[in-house]
């Protein structure tokens, strides 16, 4: 089962406020006929906002009754091949003239934002006019003196551009261009001493400055690709990769955006998507935190029924298999039909392998797991338990053939030393009658093979990792135990 990235765009039917509307007149002479398109950025993607037919006089008019959300928009040519950016914020009665030779903005009126942007671009052209030459000279510099001089010139240009941006932000703090400049500004990471506390202080100062003067509830953030890139880098590289730290940051952004429905939905949707199936083991508890704090308290009321079902099912599947918590018991049968219990096993480590001989990935991974087991894991006290995840759901008559294929694979691959378990139809029906979750739910088994490593008390140490990562984990864990018996 795959969890699709759901409804990041299903935030509101319109990103607008007020009823003044917008009117953007575009002159594309001598071109007549066809259509021009007005698009907008949403994260790193672009979406269509409006279209307008080019009249006989070469003029097209984009208009609407609701104001556009301030942000970075694009005007696209009739062939949908070329486009240029235009800033739209408070002033939304704008006239643009397009250079027909290369489809770029030749002039604009009614928009101070774009005039400011043009002034900035001209300033940077002056500041960086020799930058390429300095880079080439630095590449071929023959002594440290020349390198130092060139580096100072390049750093001076960067500082001059930053000073221009900082000065503009002071003069025009509410402008959309100022918001872009804040997103462009990289905080300084500077360690002023040699102690561990000095390093921590530098980190905290960098982290505090990362979002300086950026309001999380500002809807205009969504209209630039820079915000999504900056947010991703912050959550993955700046915030400590620990569930408590990630929960705190997610809450900070969500709660800070309560005054703006669109941003509130954006953060909740984004972090839900991120941590429902996280890239790193153990971070699914961040999703469970969001689920319990916002979903179960009825603060999420915008989901379609299928999306709501997806989130709730995923949360209930994860609740029983959190890293560090006791694993759910398994009451299954072995190949001889004898009743077995997970908590009846006495082992330093228990490795649960949910697999199926019909699964090609299983046929590749299970022998590798056995090789690791024979080489080292057995000596470390690992007890593998293979649980058959058969594909026969209702036809009991097919079970003999399924069992034959399963046991034959065990014999052919010589999976000795393993426990091999399955769930009979009778056990499955008993679970249903008693309204108990089955092992697929308890262990979130939606693909095979699925691996869980348990400690001697059957607490989950690791889950859903491959053989190589599991070997690394076991080596590290056993060495830690050896050093701290």
Q: Per-residue confidence at 245, pLDDT binned at 50, 70, 90?
A: very high
SS3 (DSSP) at 3:
coil
pLDDT of amino acid 29: 83
Q: Per-residue confidence at 98, pLDDT binned at 50, 70, 90?
A: very high
Q: Per-residue confidence at 331, pLDDT binned at 50, 70, 90?
A: very high
Residue 397 has pLDDT above 70, yes or no: yes
pLDDT of amino acid 393: 63
pLDDT of amino acid 368: 95
Mean pLDDT of 441-445: 89
Residue 474 has pLDDT above 80, yes or no: yes
Mean pLDDT of 32-42: 91
| Buried b / exposed e along 64-87 (16+ C-beta atoms within 10 A) | beebbbbbbbbbbbbeeeebbebb
Residue 50 has pLDDT above 50, yes or no: yes
Residue 449 has pLDDT above 90, yes or no: yes
pLDDT of amino acid 278: 92
pLDDT of amino acid 11: 37
Cα separation of 426 and 56, whole Å?
Answer: 77
pLDDT of amino acid 479: 79
- Which residue did the predictor score with more confidence, 117 or 483? 117
pLDDT of amino acid 20: 78
Mean pLDDT of the chain: 91
Percentage with pLDDT > 90 across the chain? 78
- HSE-CB for 432 with a 13 A CA cutoff: 7
Residue 484 φ/ψ, nearest 5 degrees: -135, 70
pLDDT of amino acid 485: 53
Instruction: Give pLDDT tens digits for 7-23.
Output: 333 333 333 344 479 99
Cα separation of 331 and 421, whole Å?
Answer: 9
Three-point CA angle 60, 64, 70, nearest 5°: 100
Nearest to 287 by CA among 301, 308, 269, 309: 269
And the tokens for 359? 């699964």
Q: Is 304 left (phi over 0), alpha (psi -120 to 50) or beta?
A: beta
pLDDT of amino acid 285: 95
Assess contact for 331 and 339: CB atoms under 8 A.
yes
Q: Per-residue confidence at 446, pLDDT binned at 50, 70, 90?
A: confident
Q: Per-residue confidence at 6, pLDDT binned at 50, 70, 90?
A: very low
Q: Per-residue confidence at 43, pLDDT binned at 50, 70, 90?
A: confident
Q: What residues contact 453, with CB distance under 8 A and at least 6 apart?
A: 349, 350, 351, 352, 460, 461, 462, 463, 470, 473, 474
Instruction: Give pLDDT tens digits for 279-317.
Output: 998 999 999 999 999 999 999 999 999 999 999 999 988
Q: Per-residue confidence at 394, pLDDT binned at 50, 70, 90?
A: low
Cα separation of 240 and 238, whole Å?
Answer: 6
Distances in whole angstroms, Cα of residue 426 to Cα of each of 33, 203, 297, 423, 430: 72, 58, 38, 8, 6
Residue 178 has pLDDT above 70, yes or no: yes
pLDDT of amino acid 14: 34
Can you say whether the dihedral through the CA atoms of 305, 311, 314, 319 is positive or negative? negative
pLDDT of amino acid 482: 62
Residue 400 has pLDDT above 60, yes or no: yes
Instruction: Give pLDDT tens digits for 155-177.
Output: 999 999 999 999 999 999 999 99
């Amino acid at each position: 089962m795959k969890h699709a990235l759901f409804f990041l765009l299903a935030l509101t039917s319109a990103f607008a406020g007020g009823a003044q509307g917008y009117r953007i007149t575009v002159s594309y002479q001598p071109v007549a006929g066809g259509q021009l398109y007005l698009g907008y950025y949403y994260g790193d993607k672009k979406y269509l906002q409006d279209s307008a037919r080019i009249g006989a006089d070469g003029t097209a008019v984009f208009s609407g009754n609701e104001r556009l959300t301030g942000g970075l928009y694009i005007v696209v040519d009739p062939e949908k091949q070329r486009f240029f950016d235009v800033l739209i914020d408070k002033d939304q009665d704008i006239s643009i003239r397009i250079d027909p030779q290369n489809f770029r903005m030749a002039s604009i009126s009614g928009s101070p934002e774009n005039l400011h942007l043009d002034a900035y671009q001209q300033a940077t052209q002056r500041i960086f006019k020799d930058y390429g030459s300095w880079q080439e000279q630095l590449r071929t510099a023959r002594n440290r003196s020349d390198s130092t001089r060139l580096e100072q010139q390049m750093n001076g240009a960067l500082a001059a551009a930053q000073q221009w941006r900082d000065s503009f932000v002071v003069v025009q703090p509410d402008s959309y261009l100022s918001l872009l400049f804040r997103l462009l500004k990289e905080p300084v990471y500077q360690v002023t001493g040699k102690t561990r506390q000095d390093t921590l202080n530098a980190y905290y100062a960098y982290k505090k400055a990362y979002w300086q003067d950026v309001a999380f509830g500002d809807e205009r953030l969504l209209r630039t690709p820079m915000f999504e890139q900056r947010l991703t880098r912050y959550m993955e590289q700046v915030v400590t990769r620990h569930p408590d730290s990630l929960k705190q940051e997610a809450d900070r952004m969500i709660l800070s955006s309560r005054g703006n429905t669109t941003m509130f939905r954006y953060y909740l949707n984004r972090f839900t998507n991120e941590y429902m199936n996280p890239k790193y083991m153990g971070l699914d508890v961040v999703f469970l935190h969001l689920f319990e704090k916002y979903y179960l308290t009825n603060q999420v009321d915008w989901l379609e029924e299928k999306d709501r079902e997806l989130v709730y099912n995923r949360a209930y599947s994860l609740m029983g298999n959190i890293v560090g918590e006791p694993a759910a018991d398994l009451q299954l049968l072995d190949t001889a039909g004898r009743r077995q219990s997970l908590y009846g096993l006495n082992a330093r480590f228990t490795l649960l392998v949910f697999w199926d001989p019909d699964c090609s990935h299983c046929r590749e991974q299970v022998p590798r797991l056995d090789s690791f087991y024979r080489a080292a894991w057995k000596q470390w006290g690992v007890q593998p338990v293979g649980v058959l995840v058969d594909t026969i759901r209702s036809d009991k008559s097919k079970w003999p053939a399924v069992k034959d294929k399963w046991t034959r694979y065990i014999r052919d691959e010589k999976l000795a030393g393993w426990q091999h378990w399955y769930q009979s139809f009778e056990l499955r029906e008993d679970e249903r009658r008693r309204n108990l979750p089955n092992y697929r739910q308890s262990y979130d088994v939606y693909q095979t093979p699925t691996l869980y490593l348990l400690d001697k008390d059957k607490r989950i140490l690791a889950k859903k990792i491959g053989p190589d990562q599991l070997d690394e984990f076991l080596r590290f864990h056993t060495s830690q135990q050896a050093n701290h018996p």
